[in-house]
Structure formats: structure tokens, C-alpha cells
Amino acid sequence: MKRLVIATRRSRLALWQAQHIAERLQSAHAALRVELLPMSTRGDELIDRRLDQAGGKGLFVKELENAMADGRADLAVHSMKDVPAELPPGFMLAAIGEREDPRDALVSSRYKTLAEMPNGATIGTSSLRRQAQIVERHPRLEVRLLRGNVDTRLAKLDRGEYHAIVLAAAGLTRLGLHARITARLEAEEMLPAPGQGALGIECLAARAEVVALLAPLADAATAACVRAERTVSRVLGGSCTLPLAAFAEIAENRAGNRVRLRALVASSDGKRVIRGELEGEVADPEALGHQVAQDLRRQGADAILGL
């Protein structure tokens, strides 16, 4: 192939991500020309509701998948945390790139930590996962809906509509906005979403020539961790309607590389939170994800999630 077209959302972060992949592809394949096809998705347009109320994560990827299906694009680049746990028939994740910082970030011009924020202070987020974990530890704070792209969310904070907001550290870093990060929230305080910080490249499973071109961009360690995380989500329902978090990391030990996986499910009011943690073989991350999901179920996850 001499030319590849990448379908991408129009947001500044999505365009950065697509351009990053384009440059890596051109570096790996000198004769290849890569073009971007910017598109608007329903997820970008519906900014007055939480995603769980508007239709879920698929709102960010459906139009991109349509472009691949009808031949306008060869692949799409996604933030892995925005990709539904189940892909439509005929599509595959051909590569998952090396992970950026997976943590959430607190952004505020007034307060340095969640703990120092006063009673009734407002925090903006659109994520049920973030909302549940904030309210569990800091019930005195008020969590309010915050939708829109990164720049829109920062502008709302700067206008004084919120005392603080929580965003993915990876997105801020990729946009050169790391100076806006007040504090990076460790996994013990805010467990990330499945796939957070990683970029996934989707294409049609039948496009073997595209899959081959994408192979040099894959990072095996990141892929193993993300596969474990996404398995938890898939087993428990696989939707952003679930206040669910999962984070895996490679744990070095004498027996060789293993994966440590932590996960939680919660009620949106933060009053019921259950957690699970296990280590497993790096060669079979899905088995580890399934084990952790079943452990959460034994603790009552289905009742919390209404499954």
C-alpha cells in the first residue's frame, strides 16, 4: 500500500493522536503516505448529557467505523478508554501503542488536593467512575457534570464554573498542557478507566495489509495490561453506564513478568464500592481479567451494577 487514511474525531486531542500515529507510520514505512479524515461524532455533539445517558462510548467511534466500512478510511485512532469493550463484527484492534501516564489529574487554580477542598466545593467531571471515587472519599464535595473537549473543560474551569475539574493526565500531556495539572491522582486514590492513557488503532479484520503495516506500532506490555482491563469491563457489561475502574501494570518478580490487575465497581453515589486485585501471567491477560471480574461478582458487583 502507498496510502493510508486515518479516520479521526475533530477535537484537538483526537487530531494530535491521529497525527502522532500518522508520523509513526511514515517513520516505519518511508514510502507510505498517510492522510487524516477528520469527522464529527455524536459523542462530540451531545455535550449536555453524561455519556451513559446519551448512548455510551460507541457514540465516539460509530462514525469512524462507518468510514472504514464504506472505504473512506483504512483505520481509526482512539483513546482506548473511549472504545467499547465489544467491537462490532468485522472490526479489530490491530495495535495498541505504548501507554502515556494512565492517571487522572486534578486541575484547579485554588486547591492543590481533593483533601483540602472545603465543604460544598464543586468538581467537574462527566465520568461516573470518577464521581463515585470522589464521593466515596470526599462526600462533602459536590460533583457536577462537565462535558466537552479538553479546551472547553479548561475554559469552564477558568470562568469559575467549577472549583476544580478532573481530566486524564495523558490528554493534558499530549496537548502540551501538563503545566495545568495541579496533582496527579495515584491509583490508590483514583483508579483509572480501562485503557486510559493508551492509544488503540482499529481497522477491518479482513484488511490484512493494514494490520501488517500497523504491527511496528504495537507495544506488547501495554497491550497485555489493556486486554486485562477491558476483559473486566466486558465481563461486567462493557459500558460507560457502569461506575467501573480497572488498571493493570507489569509486576516484575523472580518468576518473570506478571500482570497486577486492580479493579472496582461502585454505585454512583459512592456509598457502595467493592474492589478486587490479582496477579496473573502476562501471556494470558484475559484470564486474569475474567478472574478479577468474577471476584467482584462474588462480592456483589451484579447487585451494585443492576445486572
Tell me the average pLDDT across 111-131. 96
Helices vs strands, H then E, count in the chain: 11, 13
Dump pLDDT digits (tens) for 132-178: 999 999 999 999 999 889 999 999 999 999 999 999 999 999 999 99
Greater model confidence, 119 or 61: 119
One of 82, 158, 219, 269 is an active-site residue; which one?
A: 82
119 shares a domain with 242: no
256's grid cell: 518473570
150 shares a domain with 90: no
Determine what percent of the chain is predicted with pLDDT higher than 90: 82
205 shares a domain with 89: yes
Q: Is the pLDDT of residue 130 over 50?
A: yes
Tell me the average pLDDT across 292-304. 95
CB contact burial 242-265 (16+ within 10 A = b; e otherwise): bbbbbbbeeeeeeeeebbbbbbbb
Residues counted in the chain: 307
Handedness of CA 15, 20, 24, 27 (dihedral sign): positive
Is 190 contained in some domain?
Answer: no
117 shares a domain with 170: yes
**What burial class does residue 105 get, using C-beta atoms within 10 Å of its C-beta: 0-12 exposed, 13-18 middle, 19+ buried?**
buried
91 shares a domain with 207: yes
118 shares a domain with 48: no
The pLDDT value given to residue 31: 95
Q: In the β-sheet with 122-125, what is the strand arrangement from edge to edge? A: 142-145, 122-125, 164-168, 104-107, 183-185
Dump pLDDT digits (tens) for 87-105: 999 999 999 999 999 999 9
The pLDDT value given to residue 40: 82
Q: Is the pLDDT of residue 239 over 70?
A: no
108 shares a domain with 93: no
Dump pLDDT digits (tens) for 184-235: 999 999 999 999 999 999 999 999 999 999 999 999 999 999 999 999 999 9
225's grid cell: 495490561
Handedness of CA 80, 85, 90, 95 (dihedral sign): positive
Dump pLDDT digits (tens) for 28-47: 999 999 999 999 876 555 55
92 shares a domain with 114: no
The pLDDT value given to residue 167: 97
242 shares a domain with 174: no
SS3 per-residue string spanning 82-137: HCCCCCCCCEEEEEECCCCCCCEEEECCCCCCCCCCCCCCEEEECCHHHHHHHHHH
259 shares a domain with 144: no
The pLDDT value given to residue 136: 94
- Contacts of 96 by beta carbon, 8 Å cutoff, 6+ apart: 80, 198, 199, 200, 201, 218, 219, 222, 223, 226
Is 22 contained in some domain?
Answer: yes
The pLDDT value given to residue 54: 45
Is 168 contained in some domain?
Answer: yes
At 250, the pLDDT band (50, 70, 90 cuts) reads very high
Dump pLDDT digits (tens) for 46-91: 555 544 544 455 667 889 999 999 999 999 999 999 899 999 999 9
Output the domain CATH number for residue 164: 3.40.190.10
Distances (CA, A) of 113 to 27, 107, 139, 141, 186: 41, 9, 15, 12, 12
CA 279/CA 35 separation, integer angstroms: 41
The pLDDT value given to residue 57: 54
Is 193 contained in some domain?
Answer: no
Q: Clarify whether 82 is annotated catalytic.
A: yes
Output the domain CATH number for residue 248: 3.30.160.40
Tally the domains of the chain. Answer: 3
Is 126 contained in some domain?
Answer: yes
At 242, the pLDDT band (50, 70, 90 cuts) reads confident
The pLDDT value given to residue 223: 97
296 shares a domain with 254: yes
Is 13 contained in some domain?
Answer: yes
DSSP H or E stretch at residue 274:
strand 273-281
82 shares a domain with 10: yes
192 touches 102 (CB < 8 A): yes
Q: What is the domain range of residue 116?
A: 104-185
Tell me the average pLDDT across 246-262. 84
Is 267 contained in some domain?
Answer: yes
Is 192 contained in some domain?
Answer: no
The pLDDT value given to residue 55: 45
